[in-house]
Structure 1
Amino acid sequence: MKTLIHDETSIHYVVAGSESPTLLFVHGANIDLTYWDAQLAYFEDRYNVIAIDLPGHGQSGRNKPHWTVKGMGEDVAAFIKSLKLEQVILIGHSLGGNVNLVAATTYPDPIIGFIGIDNFKSAGQPLPSEYQEQSEQIIQQLHQNFADTDEQYARMVLLTPQTPEAVSSRVVQDYREAFQPMATEIIEAVFKSEYKTEQELLPKLPCKLHLINVDYMPTQEGPLQTYTTKGYAVHHMAGTSHFPMIEKPNELNKRLDETIKEILAEKRSK
């Protein structure tokens, strides 16, 4: 485990392997870099592999006055600059994909590939009107009873009754124990305004958008056609939850492997 300081906040990370290009793994909300353990072990023999704890998560710092997706994305961009990383393929799960979108458009020069894991399923779309009131209730309840509300959100939106118990238990525990100031601000942004950021930044993504999305919830491709200017590809996989890296790590590794090879082949052909 290593540490980098940016904007007075520590960013903890792990490095495995050494061969270029770099695979930079960024986890989703309320979890940490250990969710990528199976991916680091799988790819470390062939690539330079890095996973980070986003600020407010895992062993990274918690001393920010405000928590935003934009700020986290700028942290990732600064991380790439500080380590002088080149030929970077960004791999982001859920919120990590949105964080990476900010990073890739803030510092595009070293970015050669972009992979979202169960992400951008309704890119650039606000919450449907029927869920607006429900989202306001969730935000209010997070302030009043954070642990129970965050668990309920995870079970209602990110897990299903068919999800293996080991996966559900791990996710629920992490959501209950998440850093409340960060988690509350971030989910409010996701509910209310993050779709506007997607509308603004997806057209500026410097490379093709690759998504590996789990079919427990469908992906709307219409918005992807609207907002991506470098093209997109959706790679579907079966699963019962939002967390394929721990539910079906072997299948995710296979699909990541195929996607990374596709990115590198596209880069060589240019």
Structure 2
Amino acid sequence: MKNHRLLPIIALCTLLFACGNPQRKTNDKKADVRAHIQNNGIPISYTDTGKGDTTLLFVHGWCINKSYWADQAAYFEKRYRVVAIDLPGYGQSGKNRKAWDVNTFATDVNAVIDQLKLKNVILVGHSMSGTIVLQAAINQPDKVIGIVGVDNFKGQGTPPQTTAQKKEIADAIAAMRKDFKQVASQWFNEGLFYKTTSKAIRARILNDVAHADTAAAIGSMEQQAYDDVPNLIKSKKKLYLINSDYQPNDTTWLVKNKIPYKLLIVHNTGHFPMVEAPKEFNVRLDEVLADMKR
């Protein structure tokens, strides 16, 4: 039986979390570059494969890293340049930072675009990185030609306003500071997995959560909890969403805010469609890319 006191916290976390494929590592060790990419002195680890005049730039979510896009890299690198990054605080990127807000993370994405001299960039952001790639697109409208969210923007259209909502967030942060591993693991088990999520994927996610940098993880949640999504979506570009349907996709707020969008569904997965059903996810992303060309 679920602990109903955790349900509001789970709803918040749904916007922030991410996971990966337990059976795939980076598709090419030679492409796993740490090298020269930096933003404000923080090194940014990345992979860079494939060729093409269009770049797919993948940005992970909470507590995981760039290797979790391996299935997408292997599939799309035949036709596109494919870059995947570790956001600072995660994976192999630097962690000596105190700012974990959307604006700061967006400048990390922009630094990768600039320093790798990427052109015609399509940003793909899972979970918490949905708002990050939106802000990065706003920062570089001349270089970013498309935005794809993965299991995000499912109805949370405005930041918390009421005293009760703000208290729920404060309680969530306090609980994490007290026992990060136990609380975060319980959130995943109760709110983000689906009945079809394999034991291997569940184990991989929970292991990554257990070994996350807690300063970065808690800071990411705390500083991003008050994002005003309607005000953020000002890029004038169509918002593509590749979402699962284990939770409802309420698009009324997108319509209300006159945000152009297209929603594509990967059925029978949890919060992590790109790894729970990678073949179907890749088909949906192909559909997005074809629509962008039209």
- Spell out the pairing of 1:131-170 with structure 2 (5 A cutoff): 133-170=167-204
Q: How does 1:32-43 map to 2 (within 5 A)?
A: 32-43=65-76
Give 1:227 deviation, angstroms.
3.0
- What is the aligned partner in structure 1 of residue 232 from structure 2? 201
Alignment pair present for 1:181 and 2:215: yes
Q: CA deviation at 1:120?
A: 0.8
Instruction: Work out whether residues 130 and 152 of structure 2, in 8 Å CA contact, stay in contact via their aligned partners in 1.
Output: yes
Choose which of 272, 277, 282 in structure 2 pairs with 1:243. Answer: 272
* Partner of residue 268, structure 1: none
Residue 8 (structure 1) aligned with residue 33 (structure 2): no
Q: Distance in 1 between matches of 2:268 and 2:105?
A: 28
Q: Which residue of 2 aligns with 1:218?
A: 248
Q: State the 1:133 CA deviation.
A: 4.5
- Does the 8 Å CA contact 2:39/2:107 hold for their aligned counterparts? no
Q: Secondary structure at the match of 1:67?
A: coil
Match of 1:82 in 2: 115
Distance 1:128 1:69 in 2: 19
* Aligned-partner residue type, residue 216 of structure 1: Y
The 2-side partners of 1:220 and 1:80 are apart by: 32
**Partners of 1:35 and 1:123 in 2: CA distance:** 25
Shift of 1:91: 0.8
Matched, 1:234 2:259: no
RMSD over aligned Cα, in angstroms?
Answer: 1.7
Distance 1:205 1:156 in 2: 35
Deviations 1:28-52 (A, max 9, x none): 1111111100000000110011101
Question: Is 1:64 the counterpart of 2:93 in the alignment?
Answer: no
Unaligned runs of 5+ in 2: 1-31
Whether 2:56 is the aligned partner of 1:27: answer no
- Equivalent position amino acid for 2:256 in 1: T
Structure 1 residues 102-113: aligned runs within 5 Å: 102-113=135-146
Whether the aligned pair in 2 keeps the contact of 1:104 and 1:206 (CA below 8 Å) is no
Tell me how far 1:65 sits from its aligned partner.
2.4
Q: How far did 1:83 drift?
A: 1.6
Contact 2:100/2:223 (8 A) holds in 1: no
Report what 2:291 is aligned to. 262
Distance (whole Å) between structure 2 residues aligned to residue 82 and residue 162 of structure 1: 40
Give distance in 2, aligned partners of 1:220 and 1:160. Answer: 19
* Greater alpha carbon shift after TM alignment, 156-165 vs 95-104: 156-165
Give 1:12's aligned amino acid.
S
In terms of fraction of residues, the more helix-rich structure is 1
| Residue range with higher mean Cα deviation, 128-137 or 2-11 | 128-137
Distance in 1 separating the partners of 2:216 and 2:176: 11
* 1:85 to partner: Cα distance: 1.1
Q: Find the residue that maps to 2:145 and give its secondary structure.
A: strand
In the aligned structure 1, how far is the partner of 2:268 from the partner of 2:65? 21
Letter in 2 for 1:101: L
Could you tell me how far apart the structure 2 residues matched to 1:63 and 1:95 are? Answer: 20
Task: Name the counterpart of 1:117.
Answer: 150
Q: CA deviation at 1:53?
A: 0.6
Quick check: 2:126–2:150 contact (8 Å CA) kept in 1? yes
CA contact 2:86–2:93 (8 Å) conserved in 1 = yes
**When the two structures are aligned, how many residues end up with a matched partner?**
260
How big is each residue's C-alpha offset from its partner over 1:92-132, in whole Å with a ceiling of 9 and x where there is no partner? 11112111011001111111111111011124234597765
Distance 2:173 2:194 in 1: 22
Equivalent residue letter for 2:247:
M
Gaps of 5+ in 1: 266-270
Aligned AA (2:250): Q
Which secondary structure does the structure 1 equivalent of 2:44 belong to? strand
Identity %: 38
Question: Which aligned pairs between 1:88-103 and structure 2 lie closer than 5 A?
Answer: 88-103=121-136
